[in-house]
């Protein structure tokens, strides 16, 4: 008998997952981030990751510029 343990959704994602979530290429996502138009990543060692809850909230808000987004928070 095998027990099924539900896996939790990740709380952070890499650039590939973040860009897929937005429907853009990794290169386009990086440009948005570098231009201050998308949420900034967190760094864990050498890994560059984005918080899923922040990406979801940012998307729900209509993808505002980071200047507007920070005021809304």
Helices within the chain (DSSP H only): 15-22, 26-34, 52-60, 66-72
The pTM of this model reads: 0.80
Widest CA span in the chain: 53
Residuewise pLDDT in 10s, the chain (73 residues): 556 666 666 799 999 999 999 999 999 999 999 999 999 999 999 999 999 999 999 999 999 988 888 888 8
């Amino acid at each position: 008998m095998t027990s099924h343990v539900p896996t939790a959704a990740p709380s952070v994602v890499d650039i590939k997952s973040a860009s897929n979530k937005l429907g853009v290429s990794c290169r386009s996502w990086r440009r948005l981030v570098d231009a201050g138009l998308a949420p900034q990543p967190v760094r864990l060692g050498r890994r560059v990751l984005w918080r899923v809850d922040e990406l979801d909230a940012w998307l729900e808000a209509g993808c505002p510029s980071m200047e507007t987004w920070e005021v809304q928070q």
